[in-house]
Structure 1
Amino acid sequence: MDIHDLDLNLLVVFDVLLRERRVAAAARELGISQPGVSNALNRMRRVFSDELFLRTPNGMVPTPLAESLAEPVSDALGRIRAMLNKPTGFDPAQSARSFTIAMTDIGEIYFLPQLMKWLSATAPGVTVSTVRDTAINLREEMETGRVDLALGFLPDLQAGFFQQRLFRQRYVCLYRRGHPAAGADGLTLKAFRAAEHISVVAAGTGHGLVDEMIQRAGVTRNVRMRVPHFVAVGHIVQQTDLIAVVPEAYAMRTLEPFGLACAPCPVKIPDIVINMLWHGKNHRDTGNRWLREHLFEEFSR
């Protein structure tokens, strides 16, 4: 398909439909009529030769092609918005605003050191609080504005929210240096099967699907310990021969402090996408845009 065949305004309609999943809700957000949304959808269907969205009792369900387009379209529109909507009316050097960000313990380990270093230099009066997305009704908290942003792997948080991809990462095996099962090239599948494991459940974050993915690959782990979060994994792996399957971003932050090593997981696990999400309520808020812009510039890759 030639880019000249596509009215780029249709991508805005596509992005909103993907989030709202209903023509009426999309029309309200876009400020156009429902027939206008339907007409745009019909034009997109002709361009892509695909239904894109199927009507069901639960709303408009995206087709596989629409799902494959979702991330690149959202990412491209996010970049354009960031360029066109430079923050105004917010003075970070003078602000005493407090931002609340939902993230996991991995997020705190990965994002906060660099974020706080930057805030100390550019916005010394700005403070940050974090909340666990599993400990609150995240959708409700963001809709009311009590939570400004969410960072992480949050596949259940879509309709009604804007999102911007920060990076994609793989899962790796994490173990202590000198682990008897690890060779120069890491872990073989045989060694992985034979080793004792620590499993991180992390319910509600998406990371809890790791065990299911490994089982689907026909591999049964010898799990000796299960924990609900990642915060203690480095300490435990450092002192034992347990192996953990963790996101690479977490592994990179723990190698030196705990004397650990990591290697690609011998079981193929799909990469995960770490996104930044915010509700439409905060979309035009200048302070929120200022923080989003920095997070994207600092952490996107």
Structure 2
Amino acid sequence: MPKRLSHQVDLNLLELFLAIYGSRNLTAAGKELGLSQPAMSRALTRLRHAYGDRLFIRQPHGLLPTPFADRLSESVHQALDIVRGTLQTPMFSPATEKRVFTLAMSDISEQVFLPGLADRVAALAPGVQLRTSQLQGKALREAMADGGVDLAMGHLRLEPEGLQSDRLFTARYACIARQDHPAIRGKLTMANFRQLGHVVSTGSITGHAHVLEGILASKKVGAAVALRVGHFLSIGRIVAQTDYIATIPRTLAATFEYAWGVKMYEPPMRLPPYDVSQFWHERFAREPGRVWLRSVVRELFAR
């Protein structure tokens, strides 16, 4: 079996070799390294033994490297530069970086957060591209672990093992109905809430559907679900053109007011608030690009 490298030569000896090679003087190299003359002599003996070459020959005006030492110096320089590089903190330069980040986002997050995030990333990092994914459950966790998904964002039901998170803000629900709804007079009442048909989304990666359907089906409320759809984004237009109502995240309701002309109402009962967070895998907690992306998200949306 070959000897382990650390048993043949160590980094201290390589740095000592370069100090001697640069100064051509054992005393001067010792001062540079903070070593005494005897310590330098012992270290040089170890170097000569490791490489099987005298390395330096004494001359009246200093030390003269052997041809082997001349050849060795370039390799040692490169080797130590590589080792130093492993100790330096990697940098992410937004202005010059070219990279694609994949974000796991629900349709709600795409509607509410992605425009602002895309605009900020384009301004700070014009070579960076964003793409979204709607992976769920185990597939999402695996993609985050292997680096296929860089960041997940929203009100997501994710098992915490292996993941880290940053709560951005706590949000509330709101109800929406069409502007001229014949059954609603001024405010949405509990009677309205029970009697009118509700539109709910069942296909989102968020935890909203589970919570909201549970509330509608509870004995205290007993409201009927009239229509189930696969995406929250289709709810705005449906409500605008029917007598159905919907309970959705307030941030999304505000965009629907602008886009579809629906009216936003306070729910007639107390609904639980929910947290919107960003999630990442612990493997990539210190990776500079992902750290930068999380900081942009936090700056834009944490409140």
| Fold match (TM-score > 0.5) | yes
Q: Pick closer, same or farther for the CA change 1:158–1:136 going to 2, 3 Å.
A: closer
Distance of 1:207 and 1:89 partners within structure 2: 38
Aligned-residue CA RMSD in angstroms? 1.7
Cα deviation code 1:158-199 (max 9, x no counterpart) = 111110001111111111112122232x20001111112212
Q: Deviations over 1:4-45 (max 9, x none)?
A: xxxxxxxxxxxxxxxxxxxxxxxxxxxxxxxxxxxxxxxxxx
The amino acid across from 1:286 in the alignment is: P
8 Å CA contact 1:134, 1:205 repeated in 2: no
Instruction: Compute the displacement of 1:142 (Å).
Output: 0.3
Distance 2:256 2:180 in 1: 16
1:173 corresponds to which residue? 175
Q: Which residue of 1 aligns with 2:226?
A: 224
Match of 2:301 in 1: 299
CA contact (8 A) 1:181 1:187 kept: no
Q: 1:194 to 1:245 in 2, by over 3 A?
A: same
Please give the residue correspondences for 1:68-87 in structure 2 after superposition, counting only pairs within 5 Å: none
Which one has the largest radius of gyration? Answer: 2
- The alpha-carbon deviation at position 204 of structure 1 amounts to 4.8
Q: Give the match for residue 214 of structure 1.
A: 216
SS in 1 for 2:233: coil
Stretch moving more, 159-168 or 213-222: 213-222
Q: Structure 1 residues 88 and 183, CA, compared in 2 at 3 Å: closer, same or farther?
A: farther
8 Å CA contact 2:106–2:204 kept in 1: the answer is: no
Matched with 1:202 is 203
Indicate which of 274, 283, 286 corresponds to 1:284: 286
How many pairs were matched up?
214
Residue aligning to 2:92: 90
Q: CA deviation at 1:135?
A: 8.0
Scaled by the length of structure 2, what TM-score is found? 0.67
Aligned to 1:236: 238
Task: Describe the SS at the equivalent of 2:232.
Answer: coil
Task: Supply the distance in 2 between the matched residues of 1:231 and 1:134 (Cα, whole angstroms).
Answer: 18
Q: Name 2:188's counterpart in structure 1.
A: 187
Q: Distance in 2 between matches of 1:289 and 1:127?
A: 16
User: How far apart are 1:136 and its partner, in Å?
Assistant: 6.9
Please identify runs of 4+ aligned residues in structure 1 that moved more than 3 A.
none
Q: Which amino acid aligns with 2:194?
A: R
- Provide the secondary structure at the position in 2 that maps to 1:157: coil
1:145-184 to structure 2, matched below 5 A, reads 145-184=147-186
Q: Take 1:139 and 1:223, find their aligned partners in 2: how far apart are those partners?
A: 31
Q: Cα 1:95–1:217, aligned 2, differ >3 Å: closer, same or farther?
A: farther
C-alpha displacement of 1:93: 0.9
Q: Which runs of 5+ in 2 are unaligned?
A: 1-88
Structure 1 gap segments, 5+ residues each: 1-86
Instruction: Identify the match of residue 259 of structure 2 among 257, 260, 274.
Output: 257
Q: For residues 181 and 138 of structure 2, what CA distance do their matches in structure 1 show?
A: 38
Q: Percent identity?
A: 37
Given the superposition, is the C-alpha separation of residues 149 and 235 from structure 1 closer, same or farther in structure 2, using an over 3 Å criterion? same
Normalising by structure 1, we get a TM-score of 0.68
* Conserved? CA contact 1:161–1:278, under 8 Å: yes
